[in-house]
Amino acid sequence: KLYYPEGYMPELLTEWPADRDIVLPAEQLPDSLRKGMNTKQEYVDRMREHHGLDRKSVTRPTESQDGAGNDNK
């Protein structure tokens, strides 16, 4: 599924049109974009757990578990 409307062709920006970060609530993002956020970190966390390694992520867990959050205990 595309992040942009059908028929729209995105263009490469050679200059960023803002002088600071653009921040908006995640609820305003398209579902297809929101669902793809953080997927690599979730994959890494699952692989580390599978191999009996501590999580290195400081991301919020989807379920309460040992090692959630900061693992530098």
Mean pLDDT of 52-67: 63
How many independent structural domains does the chain possess? 1
Would you say residue 22 lies in a domain? Answer: no
Rounded to 5°, angle at Cα 25 from 20 and 27: 145
Task: Provide the domain limits for residue 40.
Answer: 28-52
The model's pTM: 0.37
Would you say residue 60 lies in a domain? Answer: no
Question: What is the DSSP code (8-state) at residue 57?
Answer: -
Mean pLDDT of 41-64: 76
Q: Which residue has the higher pLDDT, 43 or 35?
A: 43
Q: Given this model, what pLDDT does residue 58 score? A: 59
* pLDDT of 7 strictly over 90: no
Question: How many other C-beta atoms can be found within 10 angstroms of the C-beta atom of residue 45?
Answer: 21
Question: How many other C-beta atoms can be found within 10 angstroms of the C-beta atom of residue 53?
Answer: 13
